[in-house]
Structure 1
């Protein structure tokens, strides 16, 4: 069985988390309105108020071990940049490469 065949394609992000641990600059706020930003717990927002707080490259809202089992502790409140990253898209593939994880099939509509 290939590594790709072992990936749970129904919920690949819960076994990955690479995009949430790729770069301290990635989980930035862009188009969120004030209400959405106010809903994110203050302890998870960086000092510049420009994005999520990170520990090294890892988002503080990420729980679990990258490449094994992960979850976003504020999934329903996550910033737009997090919502935009989709399994198998170029950003996902780039983040997975950093952790030596196989690429996922691109799930975006053709």
Structure 2
């Protein structure tokens, strides 16, 4: 865990596990076409169904899992990324994969 106050305010910036849990997870579901068109094409998978991944890791993720991370397209990220909340079941599952403790 980081001693950085910004990371304490947003545990996601010291984690990133949800963005590297599964290449099937960052998929598009309820976004409007106009919103999807704003995502850079090099970050969209070949099926146009979700974010491009390198292995299980979303290509928009910057930094090191469990240390310091950020989304390269945070303002444009898909709805599935917006619904994952710190400490929810999906967060806990992703953190477990990387050996990180669940958030309280």
TM range (shorter): over 0.9
Q: Which residue of 2 aligns with 1:72?
A: 71
Q: Deviations over 1:34-65 (max 9, x none)?
A: 11000000000000000000000000000000
Q: Deviations over 1:56-102 (max 9, x none)?
A: 00000000000000000000000000000000000000000000000
Runs of 4+ in 1 over 4 A off after TM superposition: none
- Worse-matched range after superposition: 6-15 or 32-41: 6-15
**Larger Rg: 1 or 2?**
1
> What runs of 5+ residues in structure 2 fail to find an aligned partner?
none
- After superposition, residues 31-50 of structure 1 pair within 5 angstroms as 31-50=30-49
> What runs of 5+ residues in structure 1 fail to find an aligned partner?
106-110
- After superposition, residues 1-110 of structure 1 pair within 5 angstroms as 8-105=7-104
Instruction: State how far apart, in whole Å, the 1-side matches of 2:33 and 2:94 are.
Output: 29
Query: Post-superposition shift, 1:10?
Result: 1.1
Aligned-residue CA RMSD (Å): 1.7
Look up the SS of the partner of 1:64 in the other structure: strand
Instruction: State how far apart, in whole Å, the 2-side matches of 1:96 and 1:56 are.
Output: 17
Look up the SS of the partner of 2:37 in the other structure: helix
TM-score norm. by structure 1 comes to 0.88
Instruction: State how far apart, in whole Å, the 2-side matches of 1:48 and 1:9 are.
Output: 37
